[in-house]
Amino acid sequence: MNTLKAMDSAESPLQERILDALERCFRIIGMQKTTLGDVAAEADVSRMTVYRQFSDKQTLFQAAALRNIHRQWQAVDEKLGTVSSLSEWLLEGLLLFHRMYINDAKVDLYKQIGGISEGLEVALSDRGLETMVAFFRPLYELAKEHNQLAPGLTPEDIAEWIHRTNHTLLVHPSPRISTEADLRRWLTPQITGGFLRVTN
């Protein structure tokens, strides 16, 4: 049974409805052409209602990105129910997350929020890091309790590394990391050497 508890989505039913409409607009007319008027019409609400829930277009787009980040890691976490160590969760989680980026068209929403660079900025915001940390914090605390972590390592450090690693793999793909076996071989020493305490 999975013991990891993710933070609940903070959106109200009305906000969820507007965010769902935004995603549909992205698919139908594209991110660059989507206006708040388009979103309001798709959600069957007034423009003022959209503004009351999200103060501007950037806030709306960031909320969509954060919701997508949460859903992606929730999907990863649900598939890692038997994982009992932080290092294994990070390795298997990154592999699953990367597989989702390659195979799941809906993940394009995250990559479209102002381009990947701005999407990364959203992911590295306080909300983005909190969303990530919520999934692996129990295993982080367990590793910390058993003195298994590198000195001074925080959950936010790990979350930022995860996002930046994903960004690098997506924006700068390497022919040397063309298969999942290559990716596993590349990630393993980074996780074990960077996050775990070196013992003699």
CATH assignment of the domain containing 94: 1.10.357
Question: Rounded to whole angstroms, how far apart are CA atoms 58 and 54?
Answer: 9
Contacts of 30 (CB under 8 A, 6+ apart): none
Give the model confidence (pLDDT) of 22-56 as tens digits. Answer: 989 988 888 778 899 999 999 999 999 999 999 88
In a domain, 37, yes or no: no
Q: What share of the chain is helix, strand, coil (3-state, %, to 5)?
A: 70, 0, 25
The number of domains in the chain is 1
Longest CA–CA span in the chain (Å) reads 65
Question: Rounded to whole angstroms, how far apart are CA atoms 144 and 156?
Answer: 14
Q: Is 24 helix (H, G, I), strand (E, B) or coil?
A: helix
Query: Is residue 67 very low, low, confident or very high in pLDDT (cuts 50, 70, 90)?
Result: confident
According to the model, what pLDDT value does residue 153 have? 92
According to the model, what pLDDT value does residue 3 have? 34
Tokens 């930022």, residue located: 160
Question: Rounded to whole angstroms, how far apart are CA atoms 186 and 112?
Answer: 27
In a domain, 9, yes or no: no
Is residue 51 a contact partner of residue 64, using CB atoms and an 8 Å limit?
Answer: no
In a domain, 29, yes or no: no
In a domain, 45, yes or no: no
In a domain, 50, yes or no: no
pTM for this predicted structure: 0.71
User: Domain residues for 98?
Assistant: 59-194
DSSP per-residue letters across 45-101: S-HHHHHHHSSSHHHHHHHHHHHHHHHHHHHHHHHTTT--SHHHHHHHHHHHHHHHH
In a domain, 168, yes or no: yes
DSSP state of 104: -
Question: Rounded to whole angstroms, how far apart are CA atoms 68 and 74?
Answer: 10
Q: Over 80: is that where the pLDDT of 140 sits?
A: yes
Is residue 101 a contact partner of residue 166, using CB atoms and an 8 Å limit?
Answer: yes
According to the model, what pLDDT value does residue 182 have? 94
In a domain, 167, yes or no: yes
In a domain, 22, yes or no: no
